[in-house]
Structure 1
Amino acid sequence: MTSLPLPDSALPPIVAPEEWAAAHEAMLVEEKAFTRARDALAARRRRMPMTPVETDYRFVGPEGEVGLLDLFAGRRQLVVYGFFYQSDVDGWPEKGCPGCSYLADHVPYLDHLRAWDTNFVMASPTDQEKIVDLRRRSGWDHVPWYTLVGEAFSHDFGVAEMFGLNVFLRDDHDRVFRTYFVNGRGVESVLPTLGMLDITPLGRQETWEDTPEGRPQLPPYRAQRRGEYP
């Protein structure tokens, strides 16, 4: 990406090291409070109740049709990302939802997650042939991506017309429970690029941000490589 113009007037003020250290120390008070608040929110999530999943939702993967329980792959926890990839997405089938594509680019080496008895998969209403093609072109071969059978899962779990993360827990009797759901900007917690940008003086450089005058601001998603794969 080409750097945007950045006039001197838009740069942070220049101060002596002692003044910078004082400003940094003052900012850290709020940052540490935010960290504690984030930990408290995570603790509250862990204390959320759960609700049983009674429907036998079905999915199709590379090896055929499976049920929701199969997506756990023998693990205790399951995170299912509803990837918005269907005919009313701009650029379909060559492209998926830009935000979903951005998230898929960030899915890590999944063995680290699986070491904590947790599996991650993506699911979309599109057939496997198109999913496999987009996954291959996008470099997401390490991410399990299933086709939804019917519309029940999408409607029941909040991803019929939008992306979203659902979390499920399996007990010792193979009963499945829904424990958590988030969509919209709530999925940012799993996108490390945004966290890194948030600690820089230019931030995410997007129009919605509260940014000092003169600093770069462009529409969201411009940095995504959606549809621009080798």
Structure 2
Amino acid sequence: MSTSDKNGAMQTPPVVSQQEWEAAREQLLVKEKAHTRARDALAAERRRMPWMAVEKDYAFDGPTGKVDLTGLFDGRRQLIVYRAFFEPGVFGWPEHACRGCSMVADQVAHVSHLNARDTTLVFVSRAPQAAIADLKARMGWQIPWFTITDSFDADFGVGEWHGTNVFFRDGDRVFRTYFLNNRGDEQMGGTWNYLDITPLGRQEVWEDSPEGYPQTPTYKWWNWHDSYIDDAPPDRKWVEVSDAGEAAFRKRSAEGNA
């Protein structure tokens, strides 16, 4: 079968019956499940990567003044830093940031879900704060966004190209734990993908994490983004709902339907 597009004939897959379609889907699902398990195993290996101590001091301009690298954590233990290109010389300046970086920003989920897992996400650029504030207002972005004032970008592999660095804070000590760029960045934006690149992961009991890492029951910490309260116990009604969902999933798994 073929259909036409503006460039001519497009060779499309065959059209089949519902039974044949379901069989093809089940065949592909085997590979998709294997991919999911491999992704989980890779995240578990990532959580066991060695750390690199950050010995140099860095300074950033923020909406309320200057902060150092520890200040970007905003009191949390984990920090994800995306280097976005918004500065003089970047295509689109000053009305817009880099088109690719802007697509990344458009995909970022509500950061409160990351915050609930002791994780802060920030963007950094070389544009002044006034320009960043105007850009965020124009584009509707709520991501914390700071101005690089020193060699941070060059020191962490994002001086000439975009990239995402992950850090962990132990008191006043900061460690670099992970880095990705190029096509690795295109998957970012969702809460789960961000948590999967952090040293603590999603912090749920099903994860393969090193001994002593924080973990809580799956689903129970989930909340509406305007309803998170630090150290609040899980909502009892939501516990009932999620328990019922888990029981149904286990039943389907036992029957070979999950």
Name the TM-score class by shorter chain. 0.7 to 0.9
Q: What is the number of residues matched between the two proteins? A: 187
CA contact (8 A) 1:84 1:161 kept: no
Separation in 2, partners of 1:101, 1:182: 17
Between 1 and 2, higher relative CO (CA 8 Å, sep ≥ 6) is seen in 1
Deviations 1:202-222 (CA, angstroms, capped at 9, x unpaired): xxxxxxxxxxxxxxxxxxxxx
Task: Describe the SS at the equivalent of 2:121.
Answer: strand
Which position in structure 1 is the counterpart of 2:30?
A: 29
Structure 2: which amino acid aligns with 1:148?
A: I
What is the 5 A alignment of 1:143-222?
143-150=143-150, 152-171=151-170, 173-191=171-189
- Tell me the TM-score normalised to structure 1 length: 0.76
Aligned to 2:46: 45
Task: Specify every segment of 5 or more residues in structure 1 that has no aligned partner in the other structure, as ranges.
Answer: 196-230
Cα offset, 1:105, TM superposition = 0.9
Instruction: Name the % identity.
Output: 53
Q: Distance in 1 between matches of 2:98 and 2:113?
A: 26
Match of 1:87 in 2: 88
Q: Is the 8 A contact 2:81 2:165 kept in 1?
A: yes
Change (3 A) 1:22 1:83: same
1-side partners of 2:70 and 2:92: how far apart? 33
By how many angstroms is 1:28 displaced?
A: 1.2
Q: Distance in 2 between matches of 1:91 and 1:106?
A: 19
Structure 1 runs of 4+ with >6 Å offset: none
In structure 1, the residue matched to 2:196 is none
Q: TM-score, normalised by structure 2?
A: 0.68
- 1:5 to partner: Cα distance: 4.2
**Any conservation in 1 of the 2:105–2:189 contact (CA below 8 Å)?**
no
After superposition, give the CA deviation of every residue in 1:109-135 in whole Å (9 maximum; x if it has no partner). Answer: 111110000001110011111111111
Q: Which has the larger radius of gyration?
A: 2
Letter in 1 for 2:84: F
Shift of 1:88: 2.4
Q: What is the CA–CA distance in structure 2 between the aligned matches of 1:60 and 1:118, rounded to whole Å?
A: 20
